[in-house]
A and B are shown apart, each in its own frame.
Chain A
Amino acid sequence: SAVISQKPSRDICQRGTSLTIQCQVDSQVTMMFWYRQQPGQSLTLIATANQGSEATYESGFVIDKFPISRPNLTFSTLTVSNMSPEDSSIYLCSVEVQAGGSYNEQFFGPGTRLTVL
């Protein structure tokens, strides 16, 4: 298993500013993912972040808006840049842990609740 912490847990920001969200894992993991959960919606994958390589972004998400760092196997950051009210969401960090055989399990952090005014 994996225990994931995120900072901050919540924030209220002004439009046009940027916020960096930190994700810390209690063990070394290769695969980390960042998701967004807009109010009342499902989880949408923003990007996959592997240590030592650039993040891979999903359609509709770009590096200039959501830059990601992955400096080591236990830590990652997601920045939400030049925020607008449409960026108000819960942002979740997730990691993949090998669970035996061909099956890998994903664990989720508690999320960062962002409100943009």
Chain B
Amino acid sequence: GNSVTQMEGPVTLSEEAFLTINCTYTATGYPSLFWYVQYPGEGLQLLLKATKADDKGSNKGFEATYRKETTSFHLEKGSVQVSDSAVYFCALKEGAGTALIFGKGTTLSVSS
């Protein structure tokens, strides 16, 4: 079945460091890919998405490119801030009417 694998956390960085959180997926079809973020004490929010191969999703300085050849959707940010401290979830959705499938989540902690 479909699945998402994320790098294990926690990830601890200093402010302005470069961030990469790896995400790979297994899917039978051609899913849409997502990154969701959960800030401390808050609900789940969509951070960015890509709906087909080679698409790049971007938001708030975060980027991820849908790589079909490597079945990956790695999250990157050039310069993290303390306010980026949160749990990040990679997810896939096979198509309309199907539910999101989530990775295990990666906790990011950024210190000043």
Residues in chain A within 8 A of chain B (CB atoms): 30-31, 33, 41-45, 48, 92, 94, 96, 98, 101-106, 108-111
Contact = CB atoms under 8 A, between A and B. Distances in A.
Q: Chain A: interface secondary structure?
A: strand
Interface residues of B, number: 18
Contacts, number: 48
B44 A104 contact: no
Contacts of A103: 32, 49, 51
Contact of B100 (A30, A94, A98): A94
Contacts of A106: 93, 99-100
Contacts of A48: 99
A42 B89 contact: yes
B71 to A, nearest CB: 19
Contacts of B102: 42-44
Contacts of A110: 43
B43 A108 contact: yes
A105 B99 CA distance: 10
B97 interface: yes
